[in-house]
Amino acid sequence: YVKEDIIHVLRDCSAAREVWGQVVPLRHNNSFFSSNLSEWTLSNLQSYKLLDFMGVNWA
């Protein structure tokens, strides 16, 4: 049994990474996958236009 932190479950595990890889534009991958939990959450909540081109309301 391995304890996983929240950022691992939401973003970094292979299953989550595969999903995010399909929706996050390649040019944003570095900042998206390198921030800590607080930065990552805040950035995602503030960047609703990031996925707007796909007709998705993110936040």
Residues 46/59, Cβ–Cβ less than 8 Å: yes
Q: Which amino acid type is present at position 24? A: V
Give per-residue pLDDT as tens, 1-57: 566 799 999 999 999 999 999 888 888 889 899 999 999 998 888 776 555 555 655
Burial class (CB in 10 A: 0-12, 13-18, 19+), 20: middle
CA neighbours closer than 13 Å in the CB half-sphere of residue 14? 0
Distance, in Å, from the CA atom of 19 to the CA atom of 2, rounded to the nearest integer, reads: 22
Supply the pTM of this predicted model: 0.68
Q: Quick check: helix, strand or coil at residue 10?
A: helix
Domain ranges of the chain: 6-54
